[in-house]
Amino acid sequence: MSRIVGIDLGTSTSEIACIDEGAPKLIPNTLGKLITPSVVHIGEDGTVLVGEDAAEYLFTRPDCTFMEVKRLTGSGEVLRAHQKDYSPEELQAMLLRYLVGCAETYLGEKIDRAVITVPAYFTDVQRRATTKAGELAGLQVERIINEPTAAALDYGLANLKECKNVLVYDLGGGTLDVTVLELFEGVIDVKASRGNNHLGGKDFDELIMCNLADPMKDERALMRLKKAAEDCKIALSTQEEYQISLPFLLTAKNGKPVSLEKTVTRTEFEQWVQEKVVSTREPMMTALSDAGLSPGDLNVILLVGGSTRIPCVKKLVEETLSAIPRSLVDPDLTVARGAAIQAGLLEGSISNTDLVLTDVCPYTLGTAVLHEGVYEDRLLFDPLIPRNTTIPTEKSRLYYPATDYQTTVQIRVYQGDSSNPDNNEQLGDILLTGIPPAKRGKEPVEVTFAYDINGILQVKASVVSTGGKVSTDISTTGVKPKPVLDLSQWEKAEEARHYRPAIRKAEKQIAFGNDEAGELKILVQQIKEALLLKEGQQAEDLRAELLELLEDMA
Ligand SMILES: Nc1ncnc2c1ncn2[C@@H]1O[C@H](COP(=O)(O)OP(=O)(O)OP(=O)(O)O)[C@@H](O)[C@H]1O
Ligand SMILES: [Mg+2]
């Protein structure tokens, strides 16, 4: 079997590591550095540059140079360079390919298997997109692991004898993760994770930018300003003030050059970012209470990620948890080291220790069910997997169709904690057909949510009496915004012509009062929905069912 590498695919920087003689080891890139900026440049002729070589082009060719792509993971957005579209996953794949290439050169062997880390708070969709990026890079993604858990593995391997409650606070370039875990003689038992997928150092840079200058369109000027803002932020971690100097930043309307000269003090910077920094308190407190702990129960606090070098960030953690956090020796490298340890556990290269790892699902996952009310029925969120359940996990529940003689049910899958499904994020849905027509409450349908070790959800549904099954990997292309469907527009759908005869026939029967069970109505409605949502296969299945029903009635 070939070797497995561990990769920390970060918003700002990425690292790759492997196991060497039983211990994690960072692999240098082509420039001999352990840290690679997560920047990709695409040349006119399609040549790809990655890392520092690509970062040079941020100022001269911002139109075909991409940074912080990770924040778009799974969003379905496209990025353009030289009239060609690239998905965030394709750009991430280029980054991965480069890192793996460095490892192949360094180790002198072919690498095609990897463990890739993601923020603990990454959603199902974002995890799938990360796996996709790995596959596009020609890698078999052996495991997706959570970044703070990786940091805990690194710490755990070095402190095998400890029995402690640990909180990992990971604030990187684009994401915040807080994870609470218990370390017990090599067993790493993650209790709870909480975080924010859109909070990190890049937000602090942006706050500096908007306090220094008005919004500007000129992309090159914007890039220079962004770089200056980041330099300023980093400098203010160790000094009290910083002088920003950007000569000839813009050209004014009158043709005169405009420069930017300003001194920023640490106090000013702290005021600008205060709200964002304070917003990280809630995830800490929630993760703790989800784990059933209070600050006093913590023995170790690990700071991970470049943004934890900011003094007011450290101070907030300290104040919130009434304890002094321990800065890891390598807040930038520990996640990649942990990924390598996970790789080593999989390939058996660190089998002499008893390191065991459990992780959790950070989100509550469930479906929507109809509850009968006195005045009106309403849809309620029905959680199947509560947040912070240990993974892998599988939960099943029986449901009954809501109306008499209903032969199909649509099972919607949501993520969130609100009892109103509309306030949660809909991950997708699956349609179960072929339920034998029966009085309501007679034909149970079993719904199963399976959440695997990589944090990916699979939903299955079956008709208990017939064993008829459907299952689906919940939407792979990104969480679709809730579609507001105007069913009256169905005839505008591409394939409408093909469905028109069956729908007309059914609607005639409904108008004649031949649809007591309401089955025709539901099918017609669902066909229209499927057409509007361009779900061809589903529409076709429903049409077959409708035709069958119409034939039975004739
Ligand atoms: N000394 C410092 N003071 C303040 N900020 C810093 C310092 N060093 C690095 N940073 C910031 O840390 C961020 C990068 O951290 P890191 O490399 O841990 O993030 P990442 O792993 O790329 O991101 P993520 O984990 O969110 O995907 C950048 O925003 C960078 O500006
Ligand atoms: Mg990181």
Q: What is the pLDDT of residue 192?
A: 93
Q: Which residues contact 13 (CB under 8 A, 6 or more apart)?
A: 35, 36, 37, 38, 173, 306, 332
List the structure tokens of 551.
């034939």
Q: What is the pLDDT of residue 477?
A: 33
Q: How many CA atoms lie within 13 A of 256 on its CB side?
A: 3
Please state the atom number of ligand 1 nearest to the C-alpha of residue 13: 22
Assess contact for 42 and 90: CB atoms under 8 A.
Answer: no
Mean pLDDT of the chain, nearest integer: 89
Which residues does residue 258 pair with via DSSP β-bridges, in sequence order?
Answer: 250
Please state the atom number of ligand 1 nearest to the C-alpha of residue 233: 4
Q: What is the pLDDT of residue 377?
A: 67
Assess contact for 38 and 10: CB atoms under 8 A.
Answer: yes
**For residues 69-74, average pLDDT:** 94
- Please tell me whether the overall predicted TM-score, pTM, comes out greater than 0.85 for this model: no
**For residues 153-174, average pLDDT:** 89
**For residues 346-375, average pLDDT:** 80
Mutate to test the pocket of ligand 1, among 13, 130, 202, 231 (most ligand atoms within 8 A of CB): 13
Atom 3, ligand 1: residue with shortest CA distance: 234
Distance in angstroms (rounded) separating the CA atoms of residues 406 and 422: 24
**Structure confidence by residue, pLDDT tens digits, 24-51:** 999 999 999 999 999 999 999 999 999 9
**Structure confidence by residue, pLDDT tens digits, 262-272:** 999 999 999 99
**Structure confidence by residue, pLDDT tens digits, 411-451:** 899 988 877 788 788 888 888 888 888 888 888 999 999 99
Q: How far apart are the first and last CA of the chain?
A: 63
Q: What percent of the chain clears pLDDT 70, i.e. is strictly above it?
A: 95
Ligand 1 pocket, 12 CB below 6 A? yes
Cα of 186 vs centre of ligand 1, distance in Å, is 29
With b meaning 16 or more CB within 10 Å and e meaning fewer, what string describes 480-512? eeeeeeeeeebeebeebeebeebbebbeebeee
Ligand 1 pocket, 37 CB below 6 A? no
**Residue 436 DSSP symbol:** P
Cα of 516 vs centre of ligand 2, distance in Å, is 58
**pLDDT at residue 482 tops 60:** no
**Structure confidence by residue, pLDDT tens digits, 186-244:** 888 999 999 998 899 999 999 999 999 888 888 889 999 999 999 999 999 999 999 99
User: Does residue 348 or residue 143 have the better pLDDT?
Assistant: 143
When mean pLDDT is compared across 414-418, 459-463, 484-488, 535-539, the lowest value belongs to 484-488
Q: Which residues contact 498 (CB under 8 A, 6 or more apart)?
A: none
Helix axes 147-158, 334-347, angle to 10 degrees: 80
**Structure confidence by residue, pLDDT tens digits, 311-327:** 999 999 999 998 887 76
Annotation says 8 is catalytic: yes
List the structure tokens of 436.
């034998």
Cα of 311 vs centre of ligand 1, distance in Å, is 14
**Residue 376 DSSP symbol:** -
Q: What is the pLDDT of residue 484?
A: 42
Assess contact for 8 and 95: CB atoms under 8 A.
Answer: no
User: Percentages helix, strand, coil for the chain, rounded to the nearest 5?
Assistant: 35, 30, 35
Cis peptide before 392 (omega within 30 of 0): yes
